Structures are given as structure tokens and as C-alpha cells.
Amino acid sequence: MVSHRSRTAFAIGAAAVTVALLVTGCSAGSSSSSTKSSTIVIDRVFDLKTADPSRQYEPTGAIVDKALYETLLTFSGSDVSKTVPGLATVEASADSKTFTVTLGDGHVFSDGSPVTADDVVFSLNRVIGMKGNPSFLLSGVTVTKKDDKTVILTSATSNPALPFILPNPSLSILNSKVVIANGGTTDEKDSAEAYLNANSAGSGPYVLDTLDLTSQVVLTTNPKYSGDDKPTYSRVVLRNVESATQKINIEGGDSQVALDLSGDQASGLGSGITVASTPSANVIFLLLNQNSKVSTITSNPDFVSAVKKSINYDDLVSLAGKGAAQANGIVPSMFLGALGSADKTTYDKTGAAADLAASGYKGEKVTLSFPSDISLNGVEFTVLAQRIQSQLKDAGITVDLAPAPVATEFAAYRDGKEALGLWYWGPDFPDPSNYLEFAPGGVVGLRAGWPEGSDATVTAAATAARAGGSNDERATQFTTYQKALNATGPFIPLVQPANNIASASSVTGVEYNAVWTIDIAALGSK
């Protein structure tokens, strides 16, 4: 355990050296000590680009904005299968094209002004009009004010998923007067981002104290917060910390919550620390390009089948660590319509050999491209890729690894130029319809060189699933879709890595949410 004396001695020693270094005639004023009371420290590997909710679309941004802002609808705890009222209640029309938003009473922003329909209209129109990263969430949606308490959302097409999209922190409601005063507009000329990175303009339980995109975000309680559940911690420090250090920090009491421990790290934690391990909603998959211009090998159906059977899924799951699970289908396990373990693809050495022989593969090198700088819930793509390479080698398939930073590699992936690719899909909203993009001609389908009309079975299943219906009907439709995809599709769902949230035992209310990872305001103490 930490010896406080030795740590103090280290600090003093270091300070002595620093003092010696400083050529400062330091005029020491009275020691104005810094705040320490009721602070909670949360360690996170940052992927933060902005705190402006209408621009951010990163998991860390969602954590921050969930604490600073409120949305029209929200989820309770970790349950993302049904929405609950947030700032408003929403009623959908039968055709899922018109949604009536009715604002609740008594919601005020941090400057004390009430949340109005104008704020809702401005905030949502700003998301759409700025054409920032999250604007596709509301594509085809128009927002109109009906009266001071009511707003109408109209979708061009049937949009049953919209209520599940609205809780996304990117669709937070901002204080329109403040934002407009600081350069906010509802088009691309908007210049309020700088302001929103230094101040918050929301009605959430916290306000932004300081923000440094690379090191830390500090939140303090919003005294005007109108919700019933006032936050326990008056100051929140969300720090950018590498996962190995997160482990040390939480073991040493330097932090109270660690969000990015790998399975290996989480299983080695000492007593006094609680770990919540749940499979995350991220699905890591392998894609085999069906475009013969890209690769004549990967576009061979027998070869695709051989690869599916050559992979030792259990081995990959154990590599991903504690709490990880095999992705039975492309839809993650906690969503409606997820596949059961009976329908998962399994390792089949002899079947693989037969398929490989049938494919006419002659030992050519296949290039596996992957983003080398991505580490998802503690699972490093580089590690995973090496294991896949090794497994395929055992099956007689020669794989050449081509790592590149995601910035460079993503372009090739998006343009459908990768023969073999290792990627993941994180859901935009907790509804299986998000996964229809994997169908032929879908966004991800095209990345695998799989245009419309490539696979009639899958396309038919996808069309049926898109049509909607009752929950049971939809569940069946999506199961069928995924079975078809597993059978003939160019995607191989591999792993849902675990989300390990480690917290000091004194911290309560730690719950993983697939949309915003963790609700800071819900954290309590005992």
C-alpha cells in the first residue's frame, strides 16, 4: 500500500530539486489552498474532441455531455430497451413519422432561465444544420415549434427508432440565448464550439469547470439543477489515463473509478475494488471483401466459409479477457433481436480444410488491414489481429498484417479497398435497425464490396426487418436477418469485448450504459 510518508518525501525531494531549478525570486503570498472536498476522480482513455454536444460523437464526449446536459428522452440505468421521460415526453404517431414532444415543468438551465420549446428547436436544428458528426442521427427529421411547451418532430420516412435516438447526449438541449450570444447558429457558420468547450449551457446536474481535451475535464455541481436526484460529488475530475495506469491509480486510491481496464487487468485487482463486467455493445468483426477486383481470394464464397470455420472463437474470447463474449451475430447481445448462442458460428477444423480445398486457395498471401491504434474496452486490435493471423496460419491460410493508424486506414476501409479487415461497430442508438447497414448495399456492406443485389436472401431478410412491427415480430425478423448474414455474409462477428468498470467499494451507482457508458451524476457514496 502507499506509504504516505515516502510519497511526501518524494514530493518534497522533487520540489527541492525544482526549487533549485527555478531562478525565481518567488514572492510567496498567503497559501491559497486548492479545493479537495467531495471530489471523485474517474480515469478514462480519452477520445474527446469537443464538449459541444451538437458536435461530439465520441464515447468520452457522451460521458461529459450526459453530466452537463439533459435530453428530451432518456434511459434509466443500464436498461436501453425502453425510454423514459427526460426534459419532455414524446408521443409517436402510428406511422412513426410524427412525434409530439411535450416539455415537462420546472426544468431550468444553469443560468436560471427555463427550458423552452425555442431551446429545443434551436438545439436540434443546430445539430442538423451544422452538419457535424452527429447530424446524421436526425437525417430526414424536421423540427417545428407548436407552442411554448410543445415541439413537433416530423420524419420523412417511418422512423420507429427515433425515440431510442433522442436520449443520445449529442441531442442535448442547450440554452439557446446563451449559445446564440456566443456565436451559435443553426447552420455551418456556427462558432459557439469554443465557448462550449470552456462553459456549459445546459440543464444537467453538473456545469463545466475546466476542459482540456488531452488531459482532463473538471465538472462542478449545477446549483440550479432541477432534477430530484442531486449529485453526490460536488467536483468530478475525468482524467485521460492509459489503462495500465488506471489500474495502479485505482489500487492506490488515486482514483475512484476506472473505465478502461482490460479483462486481464480487471481480474488482477485487489480487494476493496468492485468490478462491473458486462459485454459492451461494441462488436468486433472481420470482413472479407467480396469485390473480386480487390481480392479474388476473399471474394470466393468457399474461402469465406473456410475462414469462418478456421477461427477459434473461444480462444479469441479468452484473449479478450474477463467478461467478454463471442458475438453470436452482428447485433450485440443486449439488443432486441440478438442471436442466441445456438446460432453462433463455431470453430470447425475439418470443415475449414474442406472449404479451403474447395476454394482452390493455393497459399497466396492475404492482407489483413486493421487500425493499429485502436484499443476497444482494453482489447488491442494489434493483439487480436496477431492471434487471428496465427489461427488462420494453423488452418493453412497465410495472412500478412497491415497495421495503420485509424486515420490512414479508415479511408481504405470506407472505400471498400481492404481485402481482409478487422473493425468494430459501436451502435449509434440501441436499436437493431442500426445493424441493417451490414446488408448488401448498406454502409458497411459496401465497405466489404457487397453492393445491393449481391445476396437476395440477406436482402429479403433485411427488408422484412426494416418494415417494423411489434417487439416480438421485430425480434424474429432480426434473428432471421442475422442467421442469413452468418451463413453467407462477408462479415464474421468475433467478439463483444467486456466493459469493465472498476470502482472503489465506497462508490455506488456504477452502471454501464450502452449509449453514454456511465452516468456520473448517478454515482453515490456509502
For residue 493, the SS3 value is strand
**At a CB cut-off of 8 Å and minimum separation 6, what does 361 contact?**
297, 300, 303, 306, 396, 397
Q: What stretches of 93-197 adopt beta strand conformation (E)?
A: 98-103, 141-147, 150-155
247 lies in the site for another protein, by CB under 8 A? yes
Smallest gap from residue 440 Cβ to another protein (A): 16
Single residue of 373, 457, 466, 483 touching another protein by CB under 8 A: 373
Tell me 340's DSSP state. Answer: P
232 lies in the site for another protein, by CB under 8 A? no
H-type helices in 206-348, by residue range? 243-251, 263-267, 301-310, 313-320
Distance of CA 108 to the CA centre of its chain: 28
398 lies in the site for another protein, by CB under 8 A? no
Q: Give the footprint of another protein on residues 174-203 (CB under 8 A).
A: 188, 193-194, 197
226 lies in the site for another protein, by CB under 8 A? no
93 lies in the site for another protein, by CB under 8 A? no
Amino acid at 272: G
Single residue of 276, 402, 464, 487 touching another protein by CB under 8 A: 402
Contact stretch for another protein (CB under 8 A) within 82-90, 146-154, 204-212, 283-291: 204-212
Smallest gap from residue 148 Cβ to another protein (A): 31
For residue 98, the SS3 value is strand
428 lies in the site for another protein, by CB under 8 A? yes
Question: Among 245, 318, 66, which Cα is nearest to 167's?
Answer: 66
Q: Is 358 exposed, middle or buried (0-12, 13-18, 19+ CB in 10 A)?
A: middle
156 lies in the site for another protein, by CB under 8 A? no
What's the Cα-to-Cα distance from 442 to each of 128, 288, 436, 446, 458, rounded to whole Å? 22, 15, 7, 6, 11
Smallest gap from residue 188 Cβ to another protein (A): 5
Rank residues 210 and 292 by Cβ distance to another protein and give the closer one: 210
What's the Cα-to-Cα distance from 448 to each of 109, 287, 444, rounded to whole Å? 46, 6, 7
Number of residues that bind another protein (CB under 8 A): 103
Single residue of 183, 301, 403, 451 touching another protein by CB under 8 A: 403
Length of the chain, in residues: 526
Q: What stretches of 177-289 adopt beta strand conformation (E)?
A: 206-211, 216-221, 235-240, 257-261, 273-279, 283-288
Single residue of 117, 171, 237, 392 touching another protein by CB under 8 A: 237
Rank residues 111 and 415 by Cβ distance to another protein and give the closer one: 415
Rank residues 115 and 261 by Cβ distance to another protein and give the closer one: 261
Q: Give the footprint of another protein on residues 32-91 (CB under 8 A).
A: 32-36, 39, 41, 49-50, 55, 57-58
Single residue of 71, 222, 255, 290 touching another protein by CB under 8 A: 255
Smallest gap from residue 487 Cβ to another protein (A): 25
Smallest gap from residue 316 Cβ to another protein (A): 11
Rank residues 49 and 344 by Cβ distance to another protein and give the closer one: 49
Amino acid at 128: I
**At a CB cut-off of 8 Å and minimum separation 6, what does 111 contact?**
175, 178, 201, 224
H-type helices in 340-454, by residue range? 349-359, 381-394, 406-414, 443-447
Distance of CA 218 to the CA centre of its chain: 21
Q: Is the dihedral of CA 187, 191, 192, 196 positive or negative?
A: positive
Single residue of 86, 134, 204, 497 touching another protein by CB under 8 A: 134
Smallest gap from residue 302 Cβ to another protein (A): 26
Single residue of 10, 95, 230, 296 touching another protein by CB under 8 A: 10
Distance of CA 193 to the CA centre of its chain: 22
Contact stretch for another protein (CB under 8 A) within 94-102, 357-365, 380-388, 518-526: 380-388
Rank residues 24 and 470 by Cβ distance to another protein and give the closer one: 24
135 lies in the site for another protein, by CB under 8 A? yes
Rank residues 45 and 88 by Cβ distance to another protein and give the closer one: 45
1 lies in the site for another protein, by CB under 8 A? yes
Smallest gap from residue 401 Cβ to another protein (A): 6
